[in-house]
Structure 1
Amino acid sequence: MTQRTAYPIAVLVEAVRQQCAGRLAQELVGPYEGVAVRSIGALSHAKPDEVAFLANPKFIHEVKDCQAGVIVLRKEDKEAIYGDETPRAMVITPNPYAWFAFALQVVEKLQNQFASGIHPHASVAVTAKVDPTARVDAGAVIEDHAVVGARAWIGANSVVGVGSVIGDDTRLHPNVTVDHHCTIGARCVLQSGCVIGGDGFGFAPFEGEWVKIPQIGSVRIEDDVEIGANTAVDRGALDDTVIGKGSKVDNLIQIAHNCRLGEHCVMAGAASMAGSTTLGDHVTVGGAANINGHIKIPSGATIGPATTVISYPDDTKLMMGFFPAMPNREFERSAVMIKHLPEMRKRLRALEAALAKLEDNQKEK
C-alpha cells in the first residue's frame, strides 16, 4: 500500500471548515503544534498519525487509552474526561460523527488527487466537450455532444451517452452507464454498475399483446447526489425522472420512470419505487421497501424496512408493515391463522349481529 501523506492537524481542521462551508462548529485545542495526521482511525486501535472520534458516549472510557494523535469529541465529553485540562490535541465539536464524515471526505480528496487527461484507449467523440482538468479512463466512451465538467472522473468502461452532461467534480466509477440526454449535477458519485436513463417500463395493452411506449423523457440528477452500485434510475416517459440535491441512493435500487425524489432523501438497499411516485424532501426509505406508483409521500416521512406502501394517508410521518421472522413451526401456525382471517371476520360479524338482535329483544321485554 502506498504511504499516505501526513498533514498538520490545523490544515485538516481548516479543510473541514471549508468542506462543510462553516456549518459545523469546531475548535482545535491542546498541544496540537507539530501534530500531523494521515487518516481517520477507530478509538480502540488508532495510531499516533491518525484522528479518532468519540460519537457515542458509551465508549468514553476508551478515550484516555486511545493512541490517536488527535481526538474529536463534544465539549461535555471532554469535560467529563479531562475537566478543565487539555493534555492532548483535541477538536471540540457538537457533532463528532458529522465532523468525521467531512474530515474523511477531505482526507480521501487529498490522498486521491488524480492526473487529468484522456486515456489513449478511451473513445471520445469529436463533438464531445471534456474539460481539460477531467479524467477519462481506459475503455470509457463519451458520445456525441456530451459534456464532462471540470475535475470530473469517468471510470474505466463507463459510458456517457449522446448529449448527456456530467457536472464538475462528479465521479463515475468503472462500468457506469449514463444514457443519452441525461444530466448529472456537480459533486455526484455514481458507483459501479448503475444505469442512469435506461428506458422506463412502459407498455400499452393491445389485443393480448404489450406495445412498447418509447420513453422520451430524461433523468436529471442534482448536485451532491450519490447513486449506489447496480441501481437503475429509469428515464421518464414524457417528463424527466428527478433526484433532488443531496439525496443518497443505496445499491440495488429501482427508481422507475417519472419518479421524483426531493432534496436530501435517503433510500437503503434493494428498495424500489414504481412509476410517477413523488417523495418530498428529507424522506427516509428503509431497505427492501416497495413503493407503489402514482402516490405522493410528504416531506420528512419515514418508510420502514421491507414495508410495502400501496397508498399514503395524509399527515402520516411513519409507515411500517412487515412480518418479522420466527421459528418455522410458529410461522406455519400463524400463516394458517392469516389464511382463515376472512372467514373468521364473517363469523365475527355474524356473531355481532346475533348479539345485537338478542340485546334488542331483551330491551323489548
Structure 2
Amino acid sequence: MSAEPMEIDDTPEGSSGVFLPPVNELPWVEKYRPKSLEDLVAHEEIIETIKRFVGMNALPHLLLHGPPGTGKTSTILACAKQMYPEGQVRQYVLELNASDARGIDVVRECIKQFVSSRSMFSGSLGSKMPKLVILDEADNMTSVSQFALRRVIEQYSSNARFCLICNYSSKIIPALQSRCTKFRFAPLKDSEAKTRVEYVARCEGVRISEDGMSALLKTGEGDMRKVLNTLQSCAMSYPGQTVDARVIHKVAGLPQQASIDRLETALCNLPVKECIEAVEDLRVKQGYSVTDLLHEIHDRMVKVNMPPRARNLLFRDLAEIEYRLASGCSEKTQGAALVGSFHEVREMMTTGK
C-alpha cells in the first residue's frame, strides 16, 4: 500500500481512476460502516466525549486503542464526516495504514507535506478547523518513525490533529502517548453486537435463528468485523436458508457441537486408546485443529461441577497444551496430552489423591 491519502468520501471528485464497486457488492463491513457518531452502537461514554470535543472545536490529538473490530476506525471516520463539509472530507483528512507505510520517509514527506498548510474551513464557532491525520495500526510504526512523528506533532499542532489507532498502546512510545488523549475500545458486549447484527440481517433479508445468533456472537468474541464477515459468508454460502449454529460452525471452520459432545463423553468415560482415537478422528478425518478442540472443551469444562483441586489441575494442563500448540509443537502429541490430562483428573477424582 502506498503512502497516498486514502479516500474516505462516499464519491470521489472527478476521474480519480479509483474503482468503487456498486454498494450491493461491498463487504457488509464497509456497506454498514457507521456514517455518523450517532450510528455507533457501543462505547457511549467515549462517543459522547468526542462529540463534545467536536462541538467545541477542541478536538485533541487522540490515541484509540483496543482489540480489532471494536469501532476505533469507524469512530474517527464518523467524527471526520461530522467535522468537515460533506463531499470535502478527503481535502482535510489524511488516512494512512502505518503497518504498510511505516518508514520515517512517510512522516517526513507525506505527513509533513499534508499538515504544513492550514485548513481554510471554519467550524461552527468561527475558528479554523484543523486538518486531521489518521494513522491506523500505529503500533506497527518503527521507533524512529514514532520519534519523528512526535516532532511533527509538536511543530504543526496549530494546523492539524493526529489520531493514532492501534491494538496495543504499550507499543506506542511514551512521548507520543503523553501528547494524546487515550481511549480504550473494549470488545463489544453481546447485546451491542446483537443489535447491529439484527439490523444488518433485516436489511439483507437474512434469517438467523436464536442458536445461530448465539453461535455467531460467540465466534466473534466482541469483534464486530469478524461477526459481520462471518454472517455475510453464511448468507452467501447458504442463500435462502436460515442461519443456525450448524451453518455458523461450518462456515467458520469450527467443530460441530455434536462432535464436541462425543469427544467430551469419550474424554470423561472411555479408556485412553479410544479417547486418542476420538481426538484423531476429529483432527485428521474431519480436519479440526487441536486448538479449536481445546477451546470448545475448555468452555464445556467451565460449566462442569468438579472438585477445586481437579479443576485447577485440568485447567493448568489445558493452559500448558495451548502454550505448546502456540509454540509450534506437534498437534498429534498435544492431542494425546489432552487425553492424558483428562485421565489424570479422572484418576484424582476416583482415588481422592
State if a TM-score over 0.5 links the two structures.
Answer: no
Greater helix share, structure number: 2
Q: Which has the higher contact order (CA 8 A, sep 6+)?
A: 2
TM-score scaled by structure 1?
0.30
Greater strand share, structure number: 1
- Compare CA radii of gyration and give the structure with the larger one: 1
